[in-house]
Amino acid sequence: MCGIFAYTGSSGKDASKILLDGLVSLEYRGYDSAGIFTPESGSVKTPGAVAELKKKVPKKFNGKSGIAHLRWATHGEPTEVNAHPHSDGSGELWIVHNGIIENFKELKDKLTKKGHTFRSSTDTEVLAHLVEEYLKTEKNFEKAALAALNDVRGTYGIALQYKGEPDKIIAARMGSPIVLGLGDGEHFIASDPSPILPHTKKVVFLEDGDVAIITPDGHTIQKLDSSSVKRETTEIDWSAEEVQKGGYQHFMLKEIMEGPEVIENTLRGRLIAQTGMAKLGGLEAVAEELSQIERIIIVACGSAHIAGLIGEYMIEEFAGIPVEVEHASEFRYRSPVLNQRTALIAISQSGETLDTLEAVREGKRRGALTLGIVNAVGSTIARETDAGVYNHAGPEVSVASTKALISELVALTLLTIFLGRQRGMSEKTAQEIALALKELPNKVQHILGSSKEIEKLATKYASMRDFIFIGRKYNYPVAFEGALKLKEISYIHAEGYGAGEMKHGPIAMIDENFPTFAIVPKDSVYEKNVSNIHEIKARKGPVIALATEGDNEIAKLADDVIYVPQTLEMLSPILNVVPLQLFAYYFAREKGLNPDRPRNLAKSVTVE
């Protein structure tokens, strides 16, 4: 879950500046500690993020090539000594690493017996020493790196540099993403394309087991058994500006505000309103197989899992296919029963979440058709699934997912129409959904227009230490999302609960200091929800209601109300998550916390 960036060039550009600037766009991947190495100037490391590193790097620090790293600690505290890059005993070999080397203790013991001493408690340093050990016998940097990688078990994305051949950097990938940037007289290695984009739009995504060598003039790729392979070059059309904040104080707010545009982008060219059809190019090749499936399993983590829970309600109601939704980290370790009539759908913004990826691989092994609902184009999950739907939400930088969740819900609605129409959903029903989808961008815009009131509300409740979010049916998972957002960025206790389950436990906690956020749209379960609010008010619990415009009755019951426009019941989560995201954002800001940098969390979780 760390960020890696490496550069080698021949035109005399200052590698340290390129590396430090590039690290900034990788900060969402980790920010416990940071470090840089160039063969000319050596290494600088620090706890903290890039700003700390920049302060520490001396003016005269330069080089024509180098490697840099942002860490999200797994093995060892986020201290200077544990920060990357790590070196071998001689200080000739330097490495940055994302992932976990599982057999590092075993390797460390062997190396210690051979006389190696270690400075840090990281698994990464062991790899540097292992390459050093092989260099003694192989007398060749590339061969030594390959031999060492063949001894390693676990996950890695690495960049490795050797002072003896300063122009050359070796990258390798096993489970943690690595992308190469192909420039003119300069080449790059990174965990994702964002730090590469200001320099070149041409990239190559490595596959697991690939080892690449970059020099200023080119790149080669081989497998761990040293057979050479060719990988396609991709042109990335996300501009570097797109990953910047665009005038907002935080990425999170910028990304919430992008909601209307995101819905348009996910829908673009995919809805044929006249005939009530969803045109999903990425599913065409498997359309026939999809018409035969008898069961769907959705696997995902975090907010993507919550999108899946809402998808379950949609697909079961409108396409009549049984759906189960599982946390990827659970699914992959049990013995699920799947067959060729099962479709496994992985939902992932980054397309790199390791548990989700492994769940896809498990699904494949068990014979399921695998599909991805993924935002990051060319990511591992997108490549490894049999077919899929891209969200087209654009880059999401803020750690807490906002706009990606909205795009996942829109993609799931399109999928529901696609599957439903294969199974007898009427043209009229599909047209109704299509029409309602098209109205969503304006409705989200309208909600965003009331952000000032939501900000006031967040200020009013900011001293509260506990929150419960309740909802039913389509908005039951929305309650989880409201609580998750608050937990992630405000570090307070928040729970999502089914409104009907309140009386089976949680209601015991309610008093005047325990507010409830009740998601209570005018839908088929409205009356039931209102009864639950009465029960909470009877116990003196403050209630914020998230209700449908025009529902004046609710204002008499709840302490505060946020109104959202009416839409179809199945689409109401897409509107309801927006005020909850805004509430969490303003709540965190009011507490003086940086919502883009929640402690202990990372954007892309590529560890298990």
By CB under 6 A, name the binding residues for ligand G6P.
301-304, 348-350, 353, 356, 399-401, 601, 603-605
CA distance 291 to 321: 10
CA distance 604 to 124: 19
Query: E strand or H helix at 538, and its extent?
Result: helix 526-538
List all residues 6 or more positions away from 505 whose beta carbon is below 8 Å from its beta carbon. Answer: none
- Closest CB to ligand G6P among 36 and 478? 478
- Closest CB to ligand G6P among 267 and 605? 605
Active site residues: 2, 603
Min dist. Cβ of residue 484 to ligand G6P (A): 8
- Closest CB to ligand G6P among 375 and 431? 375
Residue in the block written with tokens 């994702």: 192
**Which tokens sit at 548?**
């449908």
Neighbour tally for 512: CB within 10 Å: 9
Strand order from edge to edge, sheet including 369-374: 323-327, 295-300, 342-348, 369-374, 387-390
Min dist. Cβ of residue 485 to ligand G6P (A): 9
Determine whether 383 is exposed, middle or buried from the number of CB atoms within 10 Å of its CB (0-12, 13-18, 19+): middle
370: three-class secondary structure by DSSP: strand
- Closest CB to ligand G6P among 19 and 578? 578
Name the closest residue to ligand G6P (Cβ): 302
Q: 584 with 330: CB under 8 angstroms?
A: no
- Closest CB to ligand G6P among 19 and 584? 584
- Closest CB to ligand G6P among 396 and 523? 396
Min dist. Cβ of residue 42 to ligand G6P (A): 34
Min dist. Cβ of residue 305 to ligand G6P (A): 8
Min dist. Cβ of residue 396 to ligand G6P (A): 8
Of 86, 59, 70, 57, the residue nearest 27 (C-alpha): 70
Residue 323 Cα distances to 152, 299, 346, 375, 500, angstroms: 38, 11, 13, 22, 22
CA distance 96 to 1: 12
Min dist. Cβ of residue 403 to ligand G6P (A): 11
**Which tokens sit at 234?**
């991709």
Query: E strand or H helix at 441, and its extent?
Result: helix 427-448
- Closest CB to ligand G6P among 399 and 437? 399
Half-sphere exposure of 381 (CA within 13 A, CB side): 34
Residue in the block written with tokens 């081989």: 222
Min dist. Cβ of residue 589 to ligand G6P (A): 18
CA distance 67 to 310: 42
Min dist. Cβ of residue 398 to ligand G6P (A): 8
CA distance 183 to 5: 15
CA distance 15 to 442: 46
CA distance 205 to 584: 35
- Closest CB to ligand G6P among 349 and 529? 349
